[in-house]
Amino acid sequence: MKKYKLAVLTSHPIQYQAPLFKLLAQHQEIDLLVYFCWKFGAEKTYDVQFGKDIEWDIPLLEGYKYQFFKNFSLRPSSDFWGQINPGIVVELIKNRPNAVLVYGWNSFANWIVFATAFLSGLPVLLHGENPLNQELLKSAWKRKIKKIILGWLFKRISVFLYIGEENKKFYQFYGVPEKKMFFAPYAVDNNRYITAAKN
């Protein structure tokens, strides 16, 4: 049985993504490797926004292959968005996946992956959360600039995964055709809650 190599780029270990990655890794036809650009969430971490230590009650790095990249920050903050990760270029060329799934487009690391994928002919699946109703609240000049930038990017994306109707409308607003969009809502790990309820 042929296995399809799927690479995933996401910012950091996230509690609602981990069960999905674990499930994908169990699929007989998928060889999954997840690339993280930030270790936030992987262990007990102080969250500035919440003002407290955060430690998730489920394992975020079990059941699938993953790799962290060393970051080179473009600004003093240690968050994901201002960092670049040139190592992923080498990884994508070396591992030659059949496709890469990228979460969002608001970081330098994501754009490095886009450029690498486009130049090497690697299909890109894009997963975003942006709703149209919030996008329309932004100024007209910002939307015009985004139409140029996102228009260029979206024409080169192979598949768009939308989480709901407003997210789908966002993509349509920026020119994505219906045939490229597939519904991929956030889901609940039902087995975990059923097992917990029985105990």
The yes-or-no verdict on residue 81 having pLDDT over 80 is no
Question: What are the φ/ψ torsions at residue 8 (nearest 5 degrees)?
Answer: -125, 135
What percentage of residues in the chain have a pLDDT greater than 90? 55
Q: State the Cα–Cα distance between residues 179 and 151, nearest whole angstrom.
A: 16
Check pLDDT > 60 for residue 23: yes
Q: What rounded mean pLDDT belongs to the chain?
A: 85
- Res 77 pLDDT > 60: no
- The pLDDT value recorded for residue 80 is 47
pLDDT at 29: 95
- Region 36-47: what's the mean pLDDT? 70
Separation of alpha carbons 100 and 182, rounded Å:
16
Question: In whole angstroms, what is the distance from residue 170 CA to residue 164 CA?
Answer: 10
Q: 86-96, pLDDT tens digit by residue?
A: 678 888 888 89
CA distances from 183 to 33, 41, 155, 163, 168 (A): 22, 27, 19, 6, 8
How many angstroms separate the most distant Cα atoms in the chain?
55
Q: How confident is the model at residue 73 (pLDDT cuts 50, 70, 90)?
A: very low
Comparing CA positions, the residue from 37, 44, 33, 34 lying closest to residue 12 is 37
What domains can be seen in the chain, in order of their start residue? 4-198 (3.40.50.2000)
In the predicted structure, residue 43 carries a pLDDT above the cut 70: no
Q: Which of 51-55, 63-67, 68-72 has the highest mean pLDDT?
A: 63-67
CB-based burial, 142-173: b 16+ in 10 Å, e otherwise: eeeeeeeebeebbeebebbbbbeeebbbbbeb
Euclidean distance between CA atoms 39 and 176, whole angstroms? 33
Residue that wins the pLDDT comparison between 104 and 81: 104
Please tell me the distance from the alpha carbon of residue 36 to that of residue 79, in angstroms, as a whole number: 12
Q: Which residue has the higher pLDDT, 65 or 82?
A: 65
- Mean pLDDT value across residues 21-46: 84
Question: What is the structure's pLDDT at 137?
Answer: 94
Measured CA to CA, the distance from residue 35 to residue 10 in angstroms comes to 6
Closest CA to 31 of 52, 7, 51: 7
Cβ atoms 50, 21 nearer than 8 A: no
